[in-house]
Amino acid sequence: MSVTAARGFTASGVSAGIKDSGAPDLALVVNRGPSYAAAAVFTSNRVQAAPVRWSRRVIGDGALAAVVLNSGGANACTGPAGEDDARAMAERTARALRVEAEQVAVCSTGLIGVPLPMDRVTAGIDAAAAELSEDGGEAAAIAIKTTDSVHKTAVASGSGPDSGPRSGSGPGPGWTVGGMAKGAGMLAPGLATMLVVLTTDADVSAPTLDSALRQAVRTTFDRVDSDGCMSTNDTVLLLASGASGVRPDPAEFAEAVHGVCLDLALRLVADAEGASKEIEVRVVGAASEQDAVTVGRSIARNNLLKCALHGEDPNWGRVLSAIGTTSAVFDPDRLDVSINGVRVCRDGAAGEPRDKVDLSGRAVTVTVDLRSGDASATIWTNDLTAAYVHENSAYSS
């Protein structure tokens, strides 16, 4: 049920004609209250799309009544006209829902530099408003896809203020967190080329939402590094309706938000463009968390290693080379590397025979022990394939 798993929300997804294929391309997510608390995290790219600029402004008071999203066009690098179009999307949505435009966030995804066909967009908003329902979460998730092969949703819930979150397929007697995401390429720190909408029926204030969201994003979406590229449109929104009437423990609520974000982040990695391997880079024994993240990202962005793993070659030398480009604290003669459980490098030299490593499956785990402290971090990435190159060489054609 995605974003409508939480009570107090309706959603829809329609085909507005933005995409030439005729596939669904416009979605609405609406908070029916009684609370309208919200929080957001946006791309750290200095080149930001008009919808990001608009949404940054309207989230300032910590409240949202709705989100309008389109795929098929990013409305990025479109000049003053793009700013006008983002505002027009919010105003048209507000008119259809009888709310204020400043209560509407706008999200767009697709090709950069191409103006949106606003006549189709506005007509699509009206159509989406007419189809809003409590069962519309899946349709909304489908409508925001671009190169995604599957739509991505996740749900977690808690039974009351004194109990922790549990996985589930829909709302329980307590409170629920639901979410949807899109993204299959340009996955790198600073979020990813993704749009994410999270909802909850918990009675949670905007500051609590903001704290939970930022904690969750820092160790989930911000640690997905599929291809080292950062988007102009990344947006993660968290809206609370308060419809359950339950005010959960903040720590337990944050855990549930983290769980949904992690679920969605791993779905992004699993659906990355052209990928044949899902690679988990675990860095342990670091002097600091920042060192662990820096080393993990260097490994995840090493194209030689990504090619090797695609070819099922456990080339640990490329791991060491990536580590060596960082400023992290380590002794090169004390580095250990394991690939899928086999310690192929011990003390900075050859360990177990490489032919013991089974890389025939899709899942790959690279574990690095810096032996310099107690901190750790995990980065998720993919292999580099000919299919990725092909898909991105023809993306705008």
333: burial class by Cβ within 10 Å (0-12, 13-18, 19+)? exposed
Identify whether the C-beta of residue 384 lies closer than 8 Å to the C-beta of residue 310: yes
For 267, list phi and psi in degrees, rounded to 5: -70, -35
Strand, helix or coil at 342? strand
Round the CA-based radius of gyration of the chain to a whole number and report it: 22
Tokens standing for residue 83:
């700013």
Local structure of residue 289 (DSSP, 8 states): H
Nearest to 379 by CA among 275, 265, 232: 265
One-letter identity of residue 281: V
How many angstroms separate the first and last alpha carbons of the chain?
34
Handedness of CA 19, 40, 86, 242 (dihedral sign): positive
Catalytic residue among 146, 193, 208, 381: 193
The 10 Å Cβ neighbour count of residue 320 is: 17
Alpha-carbon gap, residue 319 to 330, rounded angstroms: 14
For 202, list phi and psi in degrees, rounded to 5: -70, 150
Instruction: Give, in order, the Cα–Cα distances in Å from 41 to each of 119, 212, 236, 286.
Output: 29, 11, 5, 28
Identify whether the C-beta of residue 306 lies closer than 8 Å to the C-beta of residue 390: no
Alpha-carbon gap, residue 177 to 160, rounded angstroms: 13
User: Which single residue is written with the structure tokens 């990344």?
Assistant: 234
The set of residues, in sequence order, having a beta carbon less than 8 Å from that of 378 and lying 6+ positions away, is 223, 280, 281, 282, 283, 296
**Stretch (H or E) spanning 321:** helix 316-324
Identify whether the C-beta of residue 222 lies closer than 8 Å to the C-beta of residue 214: no
Tokens standing for residue 234:
């990344």
One-letter identity of residue 347: D
Alpha-carbon gap, residue 255 to 260, rounded angstroms: 9
Q: Does the annotation count 193 as an active-site position? A: yes
Active site amino acids: 193
